[in-house]
Amino acid sequence: MKYILFVCTENSARSQMAEALFNHYNKNKEYAGISAGTSPARGIKPFAIEAMKEKGIDMSKQKPKKLVSGMVKKAKKIFTMGCTNGCPVTPPDKTEDWDLEDPAGKSIEKYRQVLNEIARRVKKLVLEI
């Protein structure tokens, strides 16, 4: 199995949405999306869950996960969501930063905007693998 790892600080919105979208759109059985955070939150942000439900994807059962070295080693490619300064364990040769705005503390509309940008990038990624 080849893992695509999505990383953000809390693993409570952006990276979780990227993981869920990747696993939803990806049809290549050799790949799976996973996500993690450098300082995981206690749960997924409610607006992230709501925005994903609007796209027909339920991520209400997902939980934030701590980024550990084993995930990094197993990952074929790593995408950070705009937290490269906080993700020192991701090797530059297989890490790409998507530099996405953190919607935490903002409106559902901001979550939708960030989600749409993640979806655009994930669809492109799925076509490339």
Catalytic residue among 36, 87, 115, 122: 87
Place of tokens 């950070």: 80
72 is catalytic: no
55 is catalytic: no
Catalytic residue among 51, 83, 119, 122: 83
* Helix (H), strand (E) at residue 104: none
Q: Minimal CA–CA distance to 74: which of 127, 33, 42?
A: 33
- Residue 79: partners with Cβ closer than 8 Å, 6 or more residues away: 4, 5, 6, 7, 18, 95, 96, 97, 98, 121, 125
Catalytic residue among 4, 5, 8, 49: 8
45 is catalytic: no
Largest CA distance in the chain: 37
Residues with a known catalytic role? 8, 83, 87
